[in-house]
Amino acid sequence: MIKRLTIYGVGLIGGSLARALKAAGAVGEIVGYGRSLAPLQKALELGVIDRYETDIARALEGCEVVLLGVPVGAMEQVLRELQPHLAVDTIITDVGSTKGSVVEAAVKVFGELPPRFIPGHPIAGTEQSGVEASFAELYQRRRVILTPNEQSDPQALEQVRWMWQQAGAEVIDMPVAHHDEVLAATSHLPHMLAFTLVDTLARLEDHDDIFRFAAGGFRDFTRIASSNPQMWHDICLNNREALLKMIQRFSDELATLSAAIERGDGEALLKTFTRAKAARDSYCENNG
């Protein structure tokens, strides 16, 4: 059991983990910390945390694990705030969608990635945000990626792995660079497509009719455009290299598709659509 877990930023991700660990009996006390009082009060009211602190020293006092549930763009500032108050045996982990930038921030603050800092990323979430949207089942049968390095403390790594397993997740280790490449393709690019499509249509002269007659396909495809804009602003800037490669690759493929439509090449279109359907059907079959 984790005797005391401190969550810096109790939102959807941290709040859902807190609920799951409580349900599993895997944590003794959960302390919330953040710069805004209202979310902490709401988290306490909902029973997600046991208490909250507005003083960082008090929030970290006696904690075994601290979870950083903050935007990746704020990571360096947050780590500088934590550093003077961390005990030598405190385990640090995070939930950021980019890992290269998190490691870079840690190196700037500590001079290296501390052995007991285990970067992590739960591949789970919804388009909703805030502790009100949290629920204990969010991580059931979902994957969590950890990106330790050669200097990572084995005991800290296993503690973080165990924590996510108690929440119902499958935990996988992955190199930092590979994580950022994979997520650029499977998460970051789809969000860029959804945001850009909705913004493009919203700026058309007849956008009222477009949205009025949009059906389920539009709703499903653009659901993630309701995600937190600040969070995705940070992700774009902190994983720009990998994301730009995927945007360029997609742009090239879209140009090829556009050319096939222009020349009336039905065979090329059918080949693309058939290949895509087979790939997605296989993905759905393998991932339930």
pLDDT on residue 205: 84
- CA atoms of 92 and 70, how far apart (whole Å): 13
Beta-bridge partner residues of 29: 4
Structure token pair of residue 287: 């991932």
Beta-bridge partner residues of 8: 33, 68
Domains of the chain: 2-174 (3.40.50.720), 179-286 (1.10.3660.10)
- CA atoms of 3 and 63, how far apart (whole Å): 7
pLDDT on residue 288: 67
Strands 91-94 vs 2-8: parallel, antiparallel or unpaired: unpaired
Could you state, in chain order, the average pLDDT of each consecutive group of 10 residues for the chain (288 residues)?
96 96 97 93 96 96 96 95 96 97 97 97 88 95 96 98 98 97 96 96 87 88 91 94 97 97 97 96 86
Q: How remote is the C-alpha of 28 from its chain's centroid?
A: 25
pLDDT on residue 116: 98
- CA atoms of 246 and 186, how far apart (whole Å): 10
For 219, phi then psi, to 5°, come to: -60, -45
